[in-house]
């Protein structure tokens, strides 16, 4: 058995490597050895293809190189790559930067922690005496059966081998502990042994009054795919008494309900989990769309549209597989004639496939006000105004800003000055200020008081030259300057942009609720100018600001859905660059 799994794995791996195709699968090595979390989740809420790196680091490097080359080729033909010049918030940017900025690029293989294999499970069922013999040879701190079962799970042994061990234990003790049963259940669920799952379920019901979380989760997972899926719902109800079930538990029950065409139950569960602030897995939402293809029902259609709105409201981006399901569902709606295309979007914000412009990144007036007040309340003042500044300083700054006409650009002096290590910081800042001043923009430069002391780094002449071209505000040396930057930009109005390379993640984290955080991120993407290229005395280049919002959006007869590429790792402060464009012909 193992042999066959391994080979098929190898084949799949090579397929994956060569064609980058996506197929979710379990590798025996990946089966979790902890039972509390037998729920296959991935970070960032997206399905991840199996990482070839895990097996062949060298191959992975070659693979990525090939992709890079491929990108180049494609760019000359069809523009599949992310919009260039490269945007700070485009998915994969931080990964790229990490490579670029690596002073010591490590070509070494990752250190694989080799766990000592103390036991290897037998290939065939053993008799009680043979097990006894094995037990006698075993030296370890834990109990033999537990160790053996864990190894069986790792090796994905046939259930009969596990059964024979259970039989041996039952013969010896006249009873089998709950822990062993749960471990056996892991094996049965991962191999989809429905009959065994039924049996264990019945035994546990008789023997134990309640189940623990891992036992319930496994049973829910196992029963959901079977004829007795309704019993999974009962187990879920039991769980609710003590704790809030996980997204996996809900997801399994919903899967069971949808597989048996019980739409109303699935929808009820979905709304219930949203009500409890449990974030649904992308796979769960995908199943809704997959089911929708075969069901033509107006109320279910509105359910699916509400899922799309959920994605929009929570800035969740579907993965590639989910996106395909959405596309197929739209195209399967009879009489509506939807057509889906995959496309990147130009910087102008115009979708190449349907010529429509995407939503603007600018905030509405009330959103703007909410954000401004929150920034003052949470980021600048926080729990204690003295942490980032002082009340007096804040007041001085507020009057300073309000007495001047609105600015066009606010510059984070210290951040910009340190862009180029070889150059004198005051010289760098002077160059940037001059460059921007030529365009007749009203500038504000924020700095700290030590810049005025006149040192080698902060040349007095340079400072004086700058102060002719721009307004300056110097904070105390122990104050933070970023909050002032945010305040000044917001105060000047929505036309005002700010220049810094800082990703402002810590300030975003100060905001109290997720809605404001999303607003902040949106505003940041639309108002932050990044100095992408600076050569002293020669060129100064800024990254263009995106003027469309990367979010699931509709105009009624079109849908635009940004999605995550399977092979590109996206950080939480980046947005996808690929889009699904759906239009009604």
Partner 1 sequence: MLFPRMNILSMHLLNAVRRSVFQLAVQDGMKRGVFLVMPSKVMMHRTLFLSACLNKNTAPDTTEKLDLDGWKHVMRTAVQEESSEGTSDSEEDSRVAATRELIEMWRLSGKAVPENISEEQLKILMDSPTKSSKKKYLQFLAKKENMKKAAKEKKKQKAAKTEISPEAQDYVAGELKNTFLLKFWSRSEDAIYNWRAAQAMIFGQPLVFDMDYENCMSRREMENAVKQLMESEGINRRGKDPFHLHYCNLKTGGLYHKELIRRYGDAWDNLFVTVTEKAYNEIFPRDQIVYLTADSPNIMKKFEHDKIYIIGSLVDKSIQTGVSLARAKRLNLATARLPLDKYLQWEEGAKNLTLNQMMSILLTLKDTGDWKDALQFVPRRKHAGFMEMSLSKDQIDAWKKTKMHERTVGKEKSHRSFAGNSSRWQVQKKWWEDVS
- CB of 43 or CB of 405, closer to partner 1: 43
C-alpha 19/C-alpha 17 separation (Å) is 6
> Residue 214 interacts with partner 1 (CB under 8 A)?
yes
Rounded Cα distance between 92 and 98, Å, is 10
Q: Please enumerate in sequence order all residues whose Cβ is within 8 A of that of 272, keeping only pairs 6 or more positions apart, or say none.
A: 250
Which of 212, 359, 367, 471 forms a contact with partner 1 (CB under 8 A)? 212
Residue-by-residue DSSP string for 443-491: EEEEEEGGGGG--SSS-HHHHHHHHHHSEEEEE-TTS-SHHHHHHHHHH
Chain residues 1-40 in contact with partner 1, contact rule CB under 8 A: 1, 3, 35-36
Site string for partner 1, 332-371 (x = CB under 8 A): ----------------------------------------
Q: How many residues does the chain have?
A: 585
What is the C-alpha end-to-end distance of the chain, expressed in Å? 51
Q: How far is the CB of 238 from partner 1 (least distance, A)?
A: 9
CB of 157 to partner 1, least distance (A): 11
CA distance 417 to 457: 10
Cα(19)–Cα(566) distance, rounded to whole angstroms?
12
Nearer to partner 1, 94 or 343 (CB): 94
Does residue 320 interact with partner 1 by CB under 8 A?
A: no
Is residue 211 a contact point for partner 1 (CB under 8 A)?
yes
Residue from 52, 92, 121, 158 touching partner 1 (CB under 8 A): that is 158
Residue 469, classified by CB atoms within 10 Å of its CB into exposed (0-12), middle (13-18) or buried (19+), is middle
Among 421, 468, 539, 585, which residue interacts with partner 1 (rule: CB under 8 A)?
421
| Candidate list 501, 508, 517, 518; residue touching partner 1; CB under 8 A | 501
Among 171-179, 323-331, 430-438, 552-560, which window interacts with partner 1 (CB under 8 A)? 171-179
Give me the least distance between CB of 418 and partner 1, in Å please.
6
Nearer to partner 1, 116 or 421 (CB): 421
- Picking from 108, 81, 110, 111, the residue whose alpha carbon sits closest to that of residue 96 is 81
Using the rule CB under 8 A, give the single segment among 95-103, 289-297, 323-331, 539-547 that binds partner 1. Answer: 95-103
Q: Which of 77, 136, 174, 556 binds partner 1 (CB under 8 A)?
A: 174
Report the DSSP beta bridge partners of residue 563.
578
Neighbours of 227 (CB within 10 A): 10
Candidates 5, 12, 135, 176; binder of partner 1 (CB under 8 A) is 176
> With 0-12 CB in 10 A as exposed, 13-18 as middle and 19+ as buried, what is 399?
exposed
Q: Taking a C-beta distance cutoff of 8 angstroms, is the pair 270, 280 a contact? A: yes
Q: Which of 575, 495, 585 is nearest to 91 (CA)?
A: 575
192 belongs to the binding site for partner 1 (CB under 8 A): no
Site for partner 1 in 41-80 (CB under 8 A): none
User: How far is it, in rounded angstroms, from Cα 30 to Cα 24?
Assistant: 12
Residue selected from 418, 442, 469, 508 as contacting partner 1 according to rule CB under 8 A: 418
Among 16, 169, 311, 436, binds partner 1 (CB under 8 A): 169
Q: Which is nearer to partner 1, 167 or 515 (CB)?
A: 167
Site residues (CB under 8 A) for partner 1, limited to 257-296: none
Contact pick of 210, 306, 348, 461 for partner 1 (by CB under 8 A): 210
User: CA 209, CA 191: separation in Å to the nearest integer?
Assistant: 27
Supply the minimum distance, in Å, between the C-beta of residue 559 and partner 1: 32
Please count the residues of this chain forming the interface with partner 1, following the rule CB under 8 A: 82
Q: Does 387 bind partner 1 (CB under 8 A)?
A: yes
> Between residue 103 and residue 122, which ones bind partner 1 under the rule CB under 8 A?
103-104, 106, 108, 110-111
Pick out residues in 526-545 that bind partner 1 (CB under 8 A): 530
- Establish if 503 lies at the interface with partner 1 (CB under 8 A): yes
| Residue whose pair of structure tokens reads 């950080």 in the numeric block | 571
> What is residue 115's three-state secondary structure?
coil
Q: How far is the CB of 132 from partner 1 (least distance, A)?
A: 12
Using CB under 8 A as the criterion, what x/- string covers residues 238-257 for binding partner 1?
---xxxx-x-----------
In the complex with partner 1, which residue's Cβ is closer, 211 or 323? 211
Report helix, strand or coil for 86: coil
Q: Which stretch binds partner 1 (CB under 8 A): 219-227, 340-348, 411-419, 436-444?
A: 411-419
> Which long-range contacts does 346-353 make (Cβ < 8 Å, 24+ apart)?
346/83, 347/83, 347/544, 347/546, 347/547, 348/547, 349/546, 349/547, 349/548, 351/560, 351/579, 351/581, 353/581, 353/583
For residue 474, what are the β-bridge partners?
447
Nearer to partner 1, 560 or 570 (CB): 570
Q: Pick between residue 180 and residue 345 the one whose CB is nearest to partner 1.
A: 180
CB of 177 to partner 1, least distance (A): 7
Tell me which of 71, 75, 124, 346 binds partner 1, using CB under 8 A: 124
Assess 396 for contact with partner 1 (CB under 8 A): no
C-beta closer to partner 1: residue 67 or 163: 163
The answer to whether the beta carbons of residues 407 and 496 sit under 8 Å apart is yes
Cα-atom radius of gyration of the chain, to the nearest Å? Answer: 29
- Cα–Cα distances (Å) from 180 to 158, 162, 373, 400, in that order, read 16, 10, 56, 70
Please report, as residue ranges, which positions from 455 to 484 form the binding site for partner 1 (by CB under 8 A): 455, 457, 477-478, 481-482
Contact residue for partner 1 among 19, 43, 77, 102 (CB under 8 A): 102
* Cα–Cα distance, 521 to 573 (Å, whole number): 8
Q: Which of 6, 65, 84, 97 binds partner 1 (CB under 8 A)?
A: 97
């Amino acid at each position: 058995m193992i042999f066959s799994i391994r080979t098929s794995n190898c084949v799949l791996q090579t397929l994956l490597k060569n064609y980058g195709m996506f197929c979710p699968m379990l590798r025996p090595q990946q089966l979790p050895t902890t039972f509390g979390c037998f729920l296959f989740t991935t970070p960032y809420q997206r399905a991840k293809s199996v990482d070839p790196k895990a097996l062949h680091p060298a191959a992975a490097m070659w693979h990525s190189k090939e992709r890079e080359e491929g990108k180049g080729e494609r760019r000359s033909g069809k523009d599949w790559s992310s919009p260039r010049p490269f945007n700070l918030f485009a998915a994969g940017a931080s990964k790229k930067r990490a490579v670029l900025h690596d002073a010591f690029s490590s070509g070494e293989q990752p250190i694989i922690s080799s766990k000592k294999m103390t036991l290897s499970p037998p290939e065939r069922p053993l008799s009680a005496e043979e097990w006894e013999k094995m037990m006698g040879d075993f030296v370890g701190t834990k109990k033999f059966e537990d160790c053996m079962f864990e190894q069986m799970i790792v090796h994905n042994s046939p259930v009969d081998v596990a059964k024979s061990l259970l039989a041996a234990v039952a013969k010896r003790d006249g009873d089998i502990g709950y822990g062993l049963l749960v471990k056996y259940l892991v094996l049965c669920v991962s191999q989809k042994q429905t009959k065994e799952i039924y049996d264990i379920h019945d035994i546990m019901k008789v023997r134990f009054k309640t189940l623990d979380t891992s036992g319930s989760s496994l049973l829910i997972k196992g029963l959901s795919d079977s004829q007795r899926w309704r019993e999974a719902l009962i187990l879920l109800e039991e769980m609710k008494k003590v704790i809030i079930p996980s997204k996996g538990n809900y997801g399994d029950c919903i899967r069971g309900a949808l597989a048996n065409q019980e739409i109303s139950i699935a929808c009820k569960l979905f709304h219930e989990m949203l009500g409890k602030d449990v974030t649904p897995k992308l796979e769960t939402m995908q199943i809704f769309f997959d089911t929708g293809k075969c069901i033509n029902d107006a109320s279910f259609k509105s359910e699916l549209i509400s899922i799309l709105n959920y994605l929009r409201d929570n800035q969740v981006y579907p993965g590639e597989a989910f996106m395909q399901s959405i596309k197929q569902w739209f195209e399967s709606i009879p009489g509506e004639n939807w057509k889906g295309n995959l496309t990147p979007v130009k910087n102008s914000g115009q979708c190449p496939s349907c010529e429509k412009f995407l939503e603007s990144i600018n905030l509405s007036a009330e959103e703007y006000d909410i954000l401004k007040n929150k920034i003052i309340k949470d980021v600048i003042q926080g729990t204690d105004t003295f942490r980032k500044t002082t009340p007096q300083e804040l007041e001085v700054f507020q009057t300073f800003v309000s007495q001047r006409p609105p600015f066009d650009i606010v510059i984070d002096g210290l951040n910009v000055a340190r862009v180029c290590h070889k150059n004198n910081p005051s010289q760098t800042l002077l160059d940037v200020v001059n460059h921007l001043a030529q365009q007749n923009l009203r500038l504000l430069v924020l700095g700290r008081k030590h810049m005025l002391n006149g040192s080698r780094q902060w040349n007095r002449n340079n400072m004086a030259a700058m102060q002719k071209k721009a307004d300056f505000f110097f904070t105390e040396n122990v104050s933070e300057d970023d909050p002032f930057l945010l305040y000044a930009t917001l105060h000047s109005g929505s036309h005002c942009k700010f220049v810094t390379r800082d990703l402002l993640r810590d300030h975003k984290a100060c905001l109290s609720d997720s809605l404001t955080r999303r607003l902040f991120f949106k505003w940041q993407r639309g108002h932050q100018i990044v100095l992408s290229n600076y050569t002293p005395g020669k060129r100064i280049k800024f990254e263009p600001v995106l003027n469309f919002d990367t979010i699931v959006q509709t105009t009624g007869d079109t849908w635009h859905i940004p999605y995550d590429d399977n092979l590109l790792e996206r950080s939480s402060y980046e947005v996808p660059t690929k889009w699904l464009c759906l239009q009604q012909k």
